[in-house]
Amino acid sequence: MFKINKIAFSKPIPFSYLLPNMITILGLLIGVTSIRLAIECRWHESVTCILVGGMIDGLDGRIARLLNRTSIFGAELDSLCDLVNFGVAPVLVLYLWHGTTTSDLLLWSAMLLFVSCMALRLARFNSAIFLDKFTSKDKYFSRGVPAPCGALLLLAPMIFDFACDVKMNAVPTTSIFIFCYSSFVSALVISRVPTLIIKHCRIQPKYLIYCIVLFFAFIIGIITYPWHTLAACIILYFLSIPCCVYYFNKMSNVN
């Protein structure tokens, strides 16, 4: 007996019920592949796999809603895959890239902290779904850094190093720096600091043309200078957080 949307089916199930979950599993396989690539010291491909997993994570939910195939099972599966793709995988990739020894407990403790915060964030998100605790402001702002963005921020030292094209010399890579930076990202992941949800942004008609130009500029940048473009996006994301806090508090005062 297979249950979707709290309905038990004893007859053949349409393929559309399985498609969103299959896409979620595909993202999981790509995310886990990043670990193997990191073991083989194929750092660019490894980070790319995690980024592709993030894009797939944004697709499965949209497809499920488009086909009206959302379910509790799909939500749980998505969170479990997110923990692996954006919690375990980026931690191992960053740890292996750093080239540290097993005796470096300082760096490993920071990696454990990030995974723990990611697990707590996903559990909090699931409980909010089941208890229907989302407010109107949650439509425009996420509480804390979302899982895919958290993985991207954690991998920022690698991405900036790729952009500078100077192996292990372009950015600080000491264990203390990685420990402090990853701990800061972990705090953002588990915090309730409002961050922007781009898909729900409302754009004034007079700015539509500029947004289209920016979008194509981003696509061109990803194709021609992917690591430089991602580095710029990380900087802009950090700069957007104070703006989100300001507008979130402004909305609270209005309400």
DSSP string, the chain: -EEETTEEE-SPPPHHHHHHHHHHHHHHHHHHHHHHHHHTT-HHHHHHHHHHHHHHHHHHHHHHHHTT---HHHHHHHHHHHHIIIIIHHHHHHHHHHT--TT-HHHHHHHHHHHHHHHHHHHHHHHHHHHT---GGGGTEEES--HHHHHHHHTHHHHHHHHHT-TTTSS---HHHHHHHHHHHHHHHHS--EEE-GGG----GGGHHHHHHHHHHHHHHHHHSHHHHHHHHHHHHHHHHHHHHHHHHHHHHH-
The mean pLDDT of 37-63, rounded to a whole number, is 92
> What pTM, to 2 d.p., does this model score?
0.86
pLDDT at 137 over 70: no
State pLDDT tens for residues 181-223.
Answer: 999 999 999 998 988 877 767 778 888 888 889 989 999 999 9
**How sure is the predictor about 135, in pLDDT bands with cuts at 50, 70 and 90?**
low
State pLDDT tens for residues 167-184.
Answer: 445 455 678 888 999 999
Give the CATH number of the domain where residue 177 resides.
1.20.120.1760
Average pLDDT, the chain: 84
The mean pLDDT of 75-84, rounded to a whole number, is 91
Domain that holds residue 161: 2-254
CA torsion, ordered 70, 76, 78, 83, to nearest 10 deg = 160
DSSP string, 17-81: HHHHHHHHHHHHHHHHHHHHHHHTT-HHHHHHHHHHHHHHHHHHHHHHHHTT---HHHHHHHHHH
CA torsion, ordered 148, 35, 52, 153, to nearest 10 deg = 30
Number of domains forming the structure of the chain: 1
